[in-house]
Structure 1
């Protein structure tokens, strides 16, 4: 039985380890931290004794690799899947409205949703639907060099339609401003979301904390198949001879008995022990932050699972039943603030949308992900390395590898699957 060493226990590492385990490879997974899952995890908040996610992650019906992965680890049953796209919006003074697909054949269900969207006037609806129907026929390579905002302006999208429709998708998916994000990758993901099939635009939410959905079932499967998962073990170096890794050194062990290595750690961690001269491209990543604010209240008086904010620095609101989770993407400006400053700003903004007072809030917890995702500008997208390296038995995975997707859960899982398949089908 061939042996594979997987470095990194985030979703890319778990994905590759699961696929290899399913294909009868002996897997040892090494993770530097005491937990698996990378940037997708949950933990018990000691004050409230509530298991909370580090941040809410939306899945979508077009996430084919993620959904297949969850089926493999028997976690698909932990998902709440919309039958049709439905997004609840919050606007100032407590007003709310929906973007909701109808029970029509695809794609008329989505066109109806756009046509009936109340916050757009007739001209805005016409121009939005015109671009929407055009997207599937656009050669996205021709958008290289354009930012998202430049493309949308070129397509005569109004400031209002950009703010309440396009920007919510763009910032949520790309985690950066429309001025920085590449129009090419935005167009590509719009095709995936809206033009793949009838279910691709459906929003999917995990019904259990993230560790229970992703990490624990993955580890259970890997062990069941005879593999090992070693947490709190950090790789500090490798030895390469004849363009092949023959030794992996950690802070606890030295590994020599393996046939292949998959590195599934972030790029800034990988370049500490693998020289980037071994990659086919020389990437240079810049990162964007995500901020999550968890709020516990005396009474939870909202019924919907999630809402999108309109015209706000707050982006998404998730109703966890035990508490509320507010997500701010592209959150670099908040990273230097202390928790009290962040809470005051968020609470002041939240009161514009929801009728709450200081007395309603019992507790809050703030979680910062400073390097949550790379910024998908044109230069970065052109310099993402591929899975294969110039080292014969080394493959790389991670949402930053060239998956043709932005830094999402789907990109991470897909990269792990691709790395595993390179080994399985070329063995």
Structure 2
């Protein structure tokens, strides 16, 4: 069969690979010149950065399976770290690192040894974990994460240092608006599964090089084609599915729409199916890159930061890209001295512009790490994805991958899933869409 996939983000790439793997002729269309969608490479200051810093989890089975299909050596392309939440010393945070023990003992021992948490904090966390397991990680009625934490008497300190950062990192939605059920789904597949499922995986390369580019090579090796800078203007149903471009058209046996929800809705409107996709609210994510001398490092590959909006300290995590990349044979890492400060739900943080945010992030690092030299980086680069994820609110209805017509399906992290808008949900949706199409 001859199939078209519209959109070469992680959902589109996974759908195209799944179709090509089954022996079908695949054409992958991407309007931009770069593969990866909202998780892609960006060139800046002679370095290949990402439009946003991501953490994968060992629980991301679909993503890891896709990397295996593409022949990606995960030991060299991913830095695997144990579950941890570590703040700079004396910054008012905590230190929690899971040892290499079978689940759930890895969490229990980490909690026992954790610093920065009181006995009341630790008892609250143990109580929450035990209750969540007993409930099967399911709620009768969805509510906000804040309400869930209040219901199970989670302390203010534990909420501030652990639950709130985890929720924002996973759902990119503040705890008073975030879906408790989706948050529990993420916790179930990480904290509630085998120890390796809770491991944190960080790409040593840029995100386009990690998966989308190998996916394109795989598709072409199977006889398919990848078309960059090629926007699909409309879709028509004749005897086959017709894709219309600026100056030409092409026919296919089936189509996967793996674009953003808005673009998908526009493509479906002439087919009277736009109502299949609801209107979403969106949350931005901003990554502030700060470059220092090559000998400047963090104590760990990444650290959590105490967010203090009242002092314009917006950063929630900082990543040492040099440590993550690792030293190259015969020299230092290309990104040595490069830090990436992540600000999720960053609408308020970017109100006064990127330059001020970069200044505030550098100041935050200087204060929290007690290293005054960090206040003055060599250069900075701030990247904001204004529609990074949908707001993952309680009871949110997400569209099914299957459309009410044969030969046309949806893929994307916004489609029906137990996960929030993550790379894993994008890959899962792509695989599901491809199988529905076939």
Q: TM-score, normalised by structure 1?
A: 0.92
Secondary structure at the residue paired with 1:378?
coil
Q: How many residues align?
A: 415
Specify which of 373, 381, 399 is matched with residue 357 of structure 1: 373
Superposed, 1:8-407 pairs within 5 Å as: 8-45=7-44, 48-77=45-74, 78-82=76-80, 84-90=82-88, 93=91, 98-138=95-135, 142=139, 144-240=141-237, 246-256=241-251, 258-275=252-269, 277-278=272-273, 281-298=276-293, 299-312=295-308, 313-321=314-322, 322=335, 323-354=338-369, 355-357=371-373, 360-380=376-396, 383-407=397-421
Structure 1 residue runs of 5 or longer lacking an equivalent are none
2:94–2:117 Cα contact (<8 Å) kept: no
TM-superposition CA deviations, 1:378-422 (whole Å, max 9, x none): 242xx2111100121101000000021100000000100111111
Deviation at 1:184, TM superposition (A): 0.9
1:229 is displaced (CA, Å) by 0.4
Separation (CA, whole Å) in 2 of partners of 1:421 and 1:331: 36
Give yes or no for contact 1:397–1:415 (8 Å, CA) kept in 2.
Answer: yes
Question: In 2, distance between residues paired with 1:3 and 1:220?
Answer: 18
The CA RMSD measured in Å over matched residues stands at 2.0
Whole-angstrom CA distance in 2 between matches of 1:165 and 1:402: 28
Instruction: Name the SS for the 2:358 alignment partner.
Output: helix
Q: CA deviation at 1:308?
A: 1.1
**1:44-79 Cα deviation digits (max 9, x unpaired):** 21xx31111111110110000010011111224343
Q: Is the Cα contact below 8 Å between 1:41 and 1:210 reproduced in 2?
A: yes
The secondary structure found in structure 2 opposite 1:326 is strand
Q: Within 2, Cα distance between the matches of 1:121 and 1:87?
A: 15
1:139 positional shift: 5.1
Structure 1 residue 343 displacement after superposition: 1.7
Provide structure 2 residue ranges, at least 5 long, that are not aligned to the other structure: 309-313, 323-334
TM-score (norm 2): 0.90
